[in-house]
Amino acid sequence: MERVRVLIVDDSALVRKLMSTMLACDPAIEVVGTAADPLIARDKIKQLNPDVLTLDVEMPRMDGLTFLENLMRLRPMPVVMVSSLTVEGAEVTLRALELGAVDFFAKPDHDLASRFGESAQEICEKVKHAARTKPRARTTVTRMDVAPRLTADAVLPRAQTAGSRGGSPIIAIGASTGGTEAVRVVLESMPPDAPPILVTQHIPAAFSGPFAERMDRCSAMKVCEARDGQPIQSGHAYIAPGGQHLLVMWDGAKYVCRLHDGPAVNRHKPSVDVLFRSMAASAGAATIAALLTGMGDDGARGLLELRQAGAATLVQDEESSVVWGMPGSAWKLGAASEMQPLDNIAARLLALTRQPHLVAARG
């Protein structure tokens, strides 16, 4: 099997050395070169023809975003951004994902040598998955680790489904790799009076707030990071906070957001399976759920539970997904009744909210 050829672009000699050492430890990866700034990187891309680029955000002579924008316009290729876990770093990284980067790796803010070593498996997995993606720049039209793998049972036991307690429809969306852009495409196509939308996107805690703010700016809906006990209302979208599971509960009169600090599920926190299971129990057939692009299979079993509870379920198709892991797993399980390209998903979700039994329940 051919190894994944990687070019590392970072202005820090220490980071270049640490990244090279980590990636070279994986027999499936070959570090073909390093570059201290984008101008050197430009020449090395031509000379070395790498499969994947790891790209720092803040560099001399040309910043990483400008370089990424030019690269995705002239020579699209898989790029993994290397960013600091700060509010500023989160904003820049989210912008990089908009411009076409496949994924990101959070650079430790201290004790680089030991902290980088702890993340070796994560960055290697991200690079290998990036090599299998279809890079694409944003159009104008519109972590793997060694922790035990737990199911949603670790947070919320499977309960008898609720039918459709609230009557009114409620939308649930799960996503991972490539999902920040996929979620944007869906939310910016929603009208201001759309049914409430709950979103679990695999994202670090420092990134979920800025992500929610960015989505709020591009959507006619009111988008926010979910708070514990927050009432769920039409015209609003709620983003799961990084580092906490988002659940939906029925309090006897309305749906509310519940945050849970339980263990990671499918090695993710927040987990899509947890959100979907909670909605199967609390909203049942009133749910319309979509599983979008993402690495792994988180959300696949939860989507199946929702379908078994009478919910309408769909997945993003392979062609429009950055990584068809999560939606592909759900499709193979029979968890989705239909598959749609990304650009059709918002309209399809809205159409499904007008199902006869939901309209009758609202009336």
Contact assessment for residue 55 and residue 175, using Cβ atoms and an 8 Å cutoff: no
Active-site residue 20, yes or no? Answer: no
CA distance 23 to 5: 10
CA distance 237 to 200: 11
Instruction: Identify the three-state secondary structure at position 86.
Output: coil
The helix (H) or strand (E) run that includes residue 298 is: none
> Long-range contacts for 305-308 (Cβ within 8 Å, ≥24 apart)?
305/158, 305/276, 305/277, 305/280, 306/172, 306/276, 306/279, 306/280, 306/335, 307/334, 307/335, 307/336, 307/337, 308/161, 308/280
Structure tokens at 127: 């690079």
Annotated catalytic residue within 129, 202, 245, 268? 202
Annotated catalytic residue within 103, 273, 298, 317? 298
Exposure string over 313-339, b if 16+ CB within 10 A, otherwise e: bbbbbeebbbbbbbbbbbbeeebbeeb
CA distance 301 to 320: 22
Annotated catalytic residue within 176, 219, 282, 329? 176
Active-site residue 202, yes or no? Answer: yes
Q: Is 213 exposed, middle or buried (0-12, 13-18, 19+ CB in 10 A)?
A: middle
Residue 290: beta bridge partners? 173, 314
The residues annotated with a catalytic role in the active site are 176, 202, 298
